[in-house]
Amino acid sequence: MESRLNQMAIDVAASLSEPKTPMNVRTYNELVDKNKYIPRDNDGLFNVMTSRLDDFEHHLLNDEFSVVDTFRVVRGELEARRFISAYLDANSHEAYSVSQEAVVIAEKRTDIRLQASRFDGYASIELKVVDKRGNWSGSALKKALIDQLIGQYLNHKRSCVGCLLIMMRETCKWKHPETDDMMTLAQTVEWLQSEADEIMKDRTELRVVVKGIDYSSTANELRS
């Protein structure tokens, strides 16, 4: 009887997890390859980092079991960092290991580090939680990107991969420090990425991305 109940539970769980439309072979193979991929250089580590962060965004905004409502309550970066680190660790697929506030050059500490499992390199993720309190202006975010992430954390031969991750808890806008134009999150990310791209023209070893996640509302909610 117990084994029959266990099998019923397995069948129910499987039916709930199955997509409403069958997954084609190409999509399945791409998913399997992505989860099995182990980076062996900085390009590979950059791809894995960006892929996992995209997965995290999708989970937070679209997953049936998302805890986005709980995550919105978090105002400090320490708690947000722990939450994101736990997700990245649970979905590492042996491609990397995760550490928080790892010491890099000159005793500076990066928020989240992904240590590659197959080569001596790591990625640094600098997290900024933004909301209507206005703690992070456009100028401050630019400083975090150029002086903090690139100037400090990516100033070592083992660390050439980085991400400035902007988590928008409440809808807000930023003033461009040069034009005074007000920018949305998407426009702010585009501007900051252009700043990073200019630096990467000279420092060709770097792989830097600016990513913004707007979790002030989700796909099932009305956006303001």
Tens digits of residue pLDDT in 166-200: 999 999 999 999 999 999 999 999 999 999 999 99
Residue 43 resides in a domain? yes
- The three state secondary structure string of the chain is CHHHHHHHHHHHHHHHHCCCCCCCHHHHHHHHHHHHCCCCCHHHHHHHHHHHHHHHHHHHHHCCCCCHHHHHHCCCHHHHHHHHHHHHHHCCCCCEEEEEEEECHHHCEEEEEEEECCCCCEEEEEEEEECCCCCCCHHHHHHHHHHHHHHHHCCECCECEEEEEEEECCCCCEECCCCCCEECHHHHHHHHHHHHHHHHHHCCCCEEEEEEEECCCCCCCCCC
- Residue pair 162/150 in contact (Cβ under 8 Å)? The answer is yes
**Could you give the number of structural domains in the chain?**
1
219 domain-assigned:
no
At 49, list the tokens. 């980092």
**Cα–Cα separations (whole angstroms), residue 175 to 64, 88, 89, 105:** 35, 32, 35, 32
224 within some domain? no
| Confidence at residue 74, expressed as pLDDT on a 0 to 100 scale | 81
The 10 Å Cβ neighbour count of residue 37 is 14
Please state at what angle helix 42-62 crosses helix 77-90, rounded to 10 degrees: 110
Confirm whether 181 is domain-assigned.
Answer: yes
Token reading at 22: 């069958």
Predicted model pTM: 0.81
Q: Which domain holds residue 16?
A: 2-214
Task: Give pLDDT, residue 4.
Answer: 44
Give the CA count within 13 Å in the CB-facing half-sphere of 182: 2
Task: Establish if 144 belongs to a structural domain.
Answer: yes
Give the side-chain half-sphere CA count within 13 A for 133.
10
| Nearest residue to 171 (alpha-carbon basis) of 111, 224, 103 | 224
High-pLDDT (> 70) share of the chain, %: 78
Query: Is residue 57 situated within a structural domain?
Result: yes
Could you read off the pLDDT tens digit of each residue along the chain, which spans 224 residues? 444 434 444 443 343 344 445 666 676 566 667 888 999 999 999 999 999 999 999 999 998 888 898 888 887 888 899 999 999 999 999 999 998 655 444 434 558 999 999 999 999 999 999 998 878 999 999 999 999 999 999 988 899 999 999 999 999 999 999 999 999 999 999 999 999 999 999 999 999 999 999 999 864 454 44
In a domain, 220, yes or no: no
